[in-house]
Structure 1
Amino acid sequence: MSTTNLDTARRYLRAIEQGATGEALAAFFHPEVTQREYPNRLVPTGATRDLRAILAGAERGQTVVASQQYEVRHTVAEGDRVALEVDWSATLKVPVGTLPAGGTMRASFGVFLTFRDGRILSQHNYDCFEPF
């Protein structure tokens, strides 16, 4: 049974939920990966990251988020491209804005992935956070 790019995208989100960092997370990415996070409340000017920066961000996230969950609402997959509409929630380890430690942060994400050789080559995120 072959794994589709959509299957890989879903496994990627599950791995993030489970706290994957380092090699466990890197396994999802092509070595030439770029991630573009468009401006949002947490990253007002947006960001572009390579593999090293993605992995460093995952490590930093472990200090802020106790747990997180991705609920995939809709998907579109065609060839090497996958689009996901996702509801995200996270229990915080530290206060963020008006949310206390132990509070829940929520967002709706548009995630657009391009694959090469079964791994994520590019990721574009449009993250819409609920007020915090």
Structure 2
Amino acid sequence: MTPHELAAALHAALMAGQHGEDIRHLFTDDAVTIEHPNALQPRGGRRHLTEMLAGSTAGARLLERQEFDVHQTVEAGDEVVLRLTWTGELNEAVGPFAAGQQLRAHIVQFIRTTGGRISEIETFDCYEPFA
């Protein structure tokens, strides 16, 4: 798959509720996500594959649904850059958020691939104000 096809496959899987081991095949064994500071992760973070898969499972439990609306992609070699809007609806109250509340973020993702799988996701997430 091309980098763009891999990104689309990941987003489609997450929107379909797939998580954890169901999405492992999309990633290299040494895959990493770099998340720059944002409203939900003020210090940002770096997660390796096992943490990424566990995070996808936690997100699937927390979200009633999530959508990725991709506005633009630019592919160059083994990398694709995406400008997208993510919307998630919570299925339960957590922290300051209510069940049914929608969260929305405007995101730029740099997805790097190696050998036809995702090896790195670097993400810049800009969340809309929480209602």
TM-score bracket for the superposition, by shorter chain length: over 0.9
Question: 2:15 is matched with which residue?
Answer: 17
Question: 1:42 is matched with which residue?
Answer: 40
CA distance in 2, matches of 1:126, 1:76: 16
CA distance in 2, matches of 1:90, 1:120: 23
1:27 aligns to what SS in structure 2? helix
| Residues 1:59 and 2:47 are matched in the alignment | no
- Measured after TM superposition, the shift of residue 94 of structure 1 is 2.5
Identity of aligned residues (%): 34
CA distance in 2, matches of 1:108, 1:58: 19
| Alignment check: 8 A CA contact 1:71 1:88 kept | yes
TM-score (norm 1): 0.92
Q: Match of 1:73, as an amino acid? A: H
The aligned length equals 130
- Measured after TM superposition, the shift of residue 63 of structure 1 is 2.5
Q: Match of 2:28, as an amino acid? A: H
* Regions of 4+ moved over 4 Å: 96-99
Question: 1:4 is matched with which residue?
Answer: 2
Deviations 1:87-128 (A, max 9, x none): 110111123566421121111111101100010111101000
| Residues 1:26 and 2:28 are matched in the alignment | no
Question: 1:118 is matched with which residue?
Answer: 116
Alignment RMSD, CA only? 1.3
2:82 aligns to what SS in structure 1? strand
Question: 2:127 is matched with which residue?
Answer: 129
CA distance in 2, matches of 1:59, 1:22: 5
CA distance in 1, matches of 2:126, 2:31: 23
| Alignment check: 8 A CA contact 1:99 1:105 kept | no
Structure 2 stretches of 5 or more lacking a match? none
CA distance in 2, matches of 1:54, 1:33: 9
TM-score (norm 2): 0.93
Moved more, 114-123 or 13-22: 13-22
CA distance in 2, matches of 1:97, 1:53: 21
CA distance in 1, matches of 2:55, 2:121: 14
